[in-house]
Structure 1
C-alpha cells in the first residue's frame, strides 16, 4: 500500500483525459461512470470529473473527490496499469461516505 497519492498517479492535462475518452472500457453505475484504458506505465492513473452543474456546492464536490482519491490510493498497488476517469453523476451527493466507498470498491478492475 502506498502512503501517498503521487502526482504521477493523476491524469492532469486535457490530452490525458482525451486519450481515455477516445477508446475506453465503460462501466455505468447510477452514481458514476467509470472509463478506463490500458496504459504502458506499469502503474494506474486516476482522473476525476465532477461537473459544477451536477453538484452545486464545492464542499460536496471536494468530499466526493477526497473519497475517490483515498480509495484509489489504498487500492492502487492492486490495480491494473490503466488510465481511469470517474465521472460523477448528480445523485451521488445524497449518499453517505460508506455507501460511496462500497460502490467504489466494487468498481475497480484488479490485476
Structure 2
C-alpha cells in the first residue's frame, strides 16, 4: 500500500532550496498559475508554494489554495519526475471553483509526469 503523506522531506523549506529552483528552471504557465521545475538529486519530488498577499488578499483564501495544491501534489507525487517544483499563483483565483482550479493544475503538471 502506498502512503500519501506530505512529510517535511517533500517540501522546499529554505531560501537556498527556492533559489536553486528559481535559477534556470523549466517553466509551465497557464494564465494565473506558474509552475517552475528543476531536477534534483534526490529520489523524490519536492514542492514549494508562493502566493503573495498582493495577489490573494485574504489569508483564508491563500491557505485554501495552498491546501488544494498540496493535496494534488500529495496524490500524484509518485508520478512526477524527481524534481523540485514551485507553484506561483499570480492573480486572483476564485476559490469557489475548486474543480476548475484542479483541472488547471492537472493540465500544467501533465508536462512533468506520465
How far off is 1:93 after superposition? Answer: 3.0
Deviation at 1:18, TM superposition (A): 0.4
Partner residue in 2 for 1:40? 41
Decide whether the 8 Å contact of 2:65 with 2:95 is kept in 1: no
**Runs of 4+ displaced beyond 2 Å:** none
Correspondence for 2:28? 27
CA contact (8 A) 1:2 1:77 kept: no
Q: Does 1:78 align with 2:79?
A: yes
Unmatched runs of 5 consecutive residues or more in structure 2: none
Partners of 2:31 and 2:82 in 1: how far apart? 25
> Is 1:101 aligned with 2:102?
yes
Residue by residue, what CA displacement relative to the aligned partner does 1:14-49 show, whole Å, maximum 9, x if unpaired? Answer: 110000001200112112111000001011000000
Structure 1 residue runs without a partner (length 5+): none
Task: Tell me the number of residue pairs that the alignment of Structure 1 and Structure 2 aligns.
Answer: 111
Q: Normalization by structure 1: what TM-score?
A: 0.94
